[in-house]
A and B are shown apart, each in its own frame.
Chain A
Amino acid sequence: MKRTKETMTPESIVIRGGTVIDPGRFNGLADVLVQNGRVVEIGMPLLASLPEGPALRTIDATGLIVSPGFVDLHCHLREPGFEYKETIQSGAASAIAGGFTSICCMPNTQPVNDNESITDFILTKAKEAGTARVFPIGAITKKSEGEELADIGELIGAGCIAISDDGRPVMNSLVMRRAMEYAKAFGVPVVDHCEDLHLSCGGSMNEGIVSTQLGIPGIPHASEEVMVARNLSLAHLTGVHVHLAHLSTARSVELVRLAKKQGLPVSAEVCPHHFSVTEEAVRGYNSNAKMNPPLRTDPDVQALKDGLRDGTIDVIATDHAPHAIQEKQLEFDAAPFGIVGFETALPLTLRLVEEGVLSLEQALDKLAKSPANLFHLPAGSLDVGEAADVVIFDPKEEWVIDPDRFRSKSRNTPFGGWKVKGRVKQTIVGGRLVYEDR
């Protein structure tokens, strides 16, 4: 009993000697003092007046980066319904191992998160897990069938922070319009997985030279872009914030850039896999390179990077989508879409810093502050008085991605064996050390 209480009570932590980066506010060597779950003081040199006693934990962050914990606007925790792929507990464990302290989970569970009881269930499970903060995203339509609106007011009341039919995009534009209008009353963003399913026509990879060579039915760029254009028009019509999930094509970026110039209420995310690999990764029928939207081409990768650099793309989200080994062992066209993402997001993002696409501070903005702001989450900052959600990582440590060591239940990643740089050392949620690299 005593033990449980100890782990549940926020301890006092002093993080010494690290480079603290609180995007937009602070960037420099500093010590951070955490007490009662909150950031109490940031300074250098810190505090002759540190609290004494066994309750004070000191973390030596010399040579490390101290950042607000990462915030993922897009993940799939699979519970309820697909616990063999992931549970809220295992998903949250994977999140903190990747430095994510707040994660927003999509409603495509079984049953779909289209009512209060499912939202309650998710929040209860998340509390039991007691690691990352979990923010559920409610369904736009009942069972995500794209026809009748879900009880959106009830969902928001229960704790959902956005609505989306991710995985089963709303094909009917009128339903989408009504959902956006209705969401206005609650001030939550509407998140859309932009895909015209008719154009996708059952495809399972990018339509292009590789699909032509491999004989795999293709998903054209246009399948995403026509829905991006639709959503931008609806944002213009309704004035409601639409958040475009996992953009993958150059023209999508261009459309968003134009919309932002015109002042439309739009935000956009990109996933690490879409800026790290191309359709070439599918060769050999690698089902771990099968995701939706699919991996695209070099010019698309370049455009996504440009979009990140100039701010057209606001956030980096993982689209963490665990699937069991036996599912990914199926033939390429039969295997499900998606890869796990929490535990590879940081090193893949740091590649952009290495390439000079983003500064480290910009990268941390896309991973922490910007997503928190967009979805109005109490996270993404190390300001004094804020909840102490902190990630401490070594930006230089080299390691080899080994899916067998993931905290996630699933292993589906195309990055196994990649030699990468940047490793999470400690993760603190609400002033508690919840993850430590050993």
Chain B
Amino acid sequence: MNRALTRISHEILERNKGLSALALVGIRSGGEFLARRIAALINQIEHAEVPIGELDITLYRDDLSLRKDQPEIRKTTIPFNITNMKIVLVDDVLFTGRTIRAALDGLMDLGRPSEVQLAVLVDRGHRQLPIRANYVGKSLPTAKEESVQVFFKELGQVDRVSIIPA
């Protein structure tokens, strides 16, 4: 996992030619840990701080009115103005693309970034929306019925990605 994140960190710096007007926004909850790790790696490389925010996309989900039980809402904390910033959205798994759609909507309600990019640890395919990641840790071919779970040491687990059969 670390190797993939280090590569992504380098790619982010390369593509954006440095840190100017750059910020990371992790999608709760997996993306939140990854954004912090990427920020730490960038700090090691560039010796500079990159602003980090956390976005909860629950209120923007497209299935709210279909669900019986409402999912838990967590805090959105973006302690900087995103207008005219280059925002790198960070998430753990890219699957249907619906979460990213919700995150884009949520982000736009908070301001007008100059550019939004997407970094994911795992791209498992099966997109249902026209969404593509700019930075991918690993492409993982999966069956649609399977699910992919990422474990984090921040949650007291051993860092790993596992495919759970249907």
Q: Within 8 Å by CB, do A and B touch in the complex?
A: no
